[in-house]
Amino acid sequence: MSEIWLTMTASDLGRAIGRGEIDPVALTRTYLDAAKAHPMSDRIYARMTEGRAMAEAEAASERARLGLRRSLLDGVPISWKDLFDTAGVATESGSALLKDRVPDSDAEVLRNATAAGLVCLGKTHMSELAFSGLGLNPVTATPPCVNDYEAVAGGSSSGAATSVAFGLAPGAIGSDTGGSVRIPAAWNDLVGLKTTLGRVSVEGSVPLCARFDTVGPLCRSVEDAAQILAALEGATPIDLKGATLEKTRLMILETAAMDDIREAPLKGFERAVGRLESAGATIERGEVPELEEALSLSAVLFATEAYAYWQDVIEANPGLMFAEILTRFRSGADVLARDYLQAWNRLEEIRKIWADITAGFDAVILPSSPILPPNTERLMTDSDYYITENLLSLRNTRIGNLMGLAGLTLPTGIPSAGIMFLSSPNSEERLLRLGAAAEAAIS
């Protein structure tokens, strides 16, 4: 029976705990044992937090016995990307530069999740300092894609996604600065939620770009995403009952998002669009021409802020870094303050244009990624291939970060091909209801 637990949604596990059918201690032990035994475990988990997990599971079991459960997910174990601080346990953000960095306290989101009764299974591998959409990390470990073990899993929340996809966690917490939740979620056939900047606390997480860093779940269902979001915020989950696509207006983004798209992602997207229309959604095509300019500003906006924060640490020991990541950080070294500020001023103008053009739609839809997961070995030996694939992997998701939006990726039924929904800032509740209806239609 316990093998079935490894494939259930976090919400279904929570309901089974509430009915007395699953003991949180047995559930947590099942996941810990599965992680220990799995041949990919060392490439997925940076470290397990077994002692903490079992103590939290025992407390959840007692609350369940007494009828004092704190949330639907009370007693459900989840994994954490290795940039969220865990008291007394190393948090290294996938980098040798931070080796043996042990924080004294938990990140705020981990404190909130623990207060809601979620169990901390362990810390997952990630792209070095979260600065890549590929998930390739020769410094620590590179998790494999669940659909192609010779390919990368997507980054930077690579281990977060694969911990769920390989059945080693019911849900995971990642971060998204340019697509780092949505890319690995899409490539591993999961649901991934990018929250609006500032909505979910980043206190106690290792930063990359403070003006873009967000926190979000990777999981098996939209319901799970809603439940985990509530736990991260210390809030009440949104009610998804009755969600429908009737009278919903969606805009297919044609600017940039469909360029150079490969066969499988396009097939998955078109399949999903057809099912959304059949379920009652009105779908139109639209463009935001200024978006091309916004995308061209990315190198100035992201690399400049990232290097400004990490310069001293990086330049003290640059030889500890993967060369491709080091080069990407250093690309922000010589940007003039004038150019950086002008780029931000122009981006704010383009955000207003985006808001005006998309105002009449419930969401903008586009392929989550224009490519499938690239081959790991080739990424390591072909620098031009690495650069091209990294930029393509991030292009569509980065639109959501640049425009300051909430974003949700759903599986399409084609392996490693997702469909992404982008909605206005702080519209997560509406986006999740839309996502629940879309999930039912697509599946």
- State percent of the chain over pLDDT 90: 100
Residue 364 lies in domain:
249-297+323-442
**Tokens at 10, concatenated:** 């976090």
Task: Identify the pLDDT of residue 2.
Answer: 87
CA distance 175 to 155: 10
The catalytic residue positions are 81, 156, 180
In a domain, 36, yes or no: yes
> Which stretches within 122-262 are classed as H helix?
158-165, 182-187, 222-233
Task: Identify the pLDDT of residue 1.
Answer: 59
Q: What is the CA radius of gyration of the chain?
A: 20
Domains: count for the chain: 2
The domain boundary residue, chosen from 233, 263, 278: 233
The pLDDT tens digits for 100-140 are: 999 999 999 999 999 999 999 999 999 999 999 999 999 99
In a domain, 281, yes or no: yes
Cα atoms found within 13 Å of the Cα of residue 140, Cβ hemisphere only: 30
CA distance 436 to 441: 9
Going 226 to 153 to 183 to 129, the CA torsion angle's sign is positive
In a domain, 423, yes or no: yes
The domain boundary residue, chosen from 185, 202, 233: 233
The pLDDT tens digits for 28-79 are: 999 999 999 999 999 999 999 999 999 999 999 999 999 999 999 999 999 9
In a domain, 123, yes or no: yes
User: 219 forms bridges with which residues in the sheet?
Assistant: 171, 191
> Which stretches within 297-382 are classed as H helix?
298, 304-316, 323-330, 337-358, 376-381
Question: Domain containing 160 — which CATH number?
Answer: 3.90.1300.10
The mean predicted confidence, pLDDT, of the chain is 98
Q: Are residues 228 and 363 in the same domain?
A: no
Strands 249-253 and 282-286: what pairing? parallel
Examine residue 331 and say whether the peptide bond preceding it is cis (omega within 30 degrees of 0). Answer: no
CA distance 281 to 386: 38
- Only one residue has tokens 């955000």, namely 351
The pLDDT tens digits for 254-276 are: 999 999 999 999 999 999 999 99
In a domain, 139, yes or no: yes
Please give the average per-residue pLDDT across 345-373, as a whole number: 98
The domain boundary residue, chosen from 208, 233, 258: 233
Q: Are residues 340 and 272 in the same domain?
A: yes
b/e for 98-133, b at 16 or more Cβ within 10 A? beeeebeebbbbbbbbbebbbbbbbbbbbbbbbbbb
CA distance 178 to 208: 10
Q: Are residues 17 and 152 in the same domain?
A: yes
Q: Are residues 335 and 290 in the same domain?
A: yes
The pLDDT tens digits for 292-304 are: 999 999 999 999 9
Q: Are residues 211 and 284 in the same domain?
A: no
- Only one residue has tokens 């805009």, namely 251
Give counts: helices (H), strands (E), the chain.
18, 13
SS3 89: strand
Q: Are residues 271 and 382 in the same domain?
A: yes
**Tokens at 278, concatenated:** 């059949």
In a domain, 282, yes or no: yes
The pLDDT tens digits for 384-428 are: 999 999 999 999 999 999 999 999 999 999 999 999 999 999 999
Q: Are residues 401 and 260 in the same domain?
A: yes
Residue 159 and residue 116 in contact, taking contact as beta carbons nearer than 8 Å: no
Q: Are residues 181 and 267 in the same domain?
A: no
In a domain, 37, yes or no: yes
**Residue 164 in this model has a pLDDT that exceeds 90:** yes
Q: Are residues 203 and 265 in the same domain?
A: no
Q: Are residues 331 and 224 in the same domain?
A: no
Q: Are residues 161 and 289 in the same domain?
A: no
Rounded-to-10 torsion of CA 178, 202, 113, 409: -10
In a domain, 362, yes or no: yes
Q: Are residues 225 and 279 in the same domain?
A: no
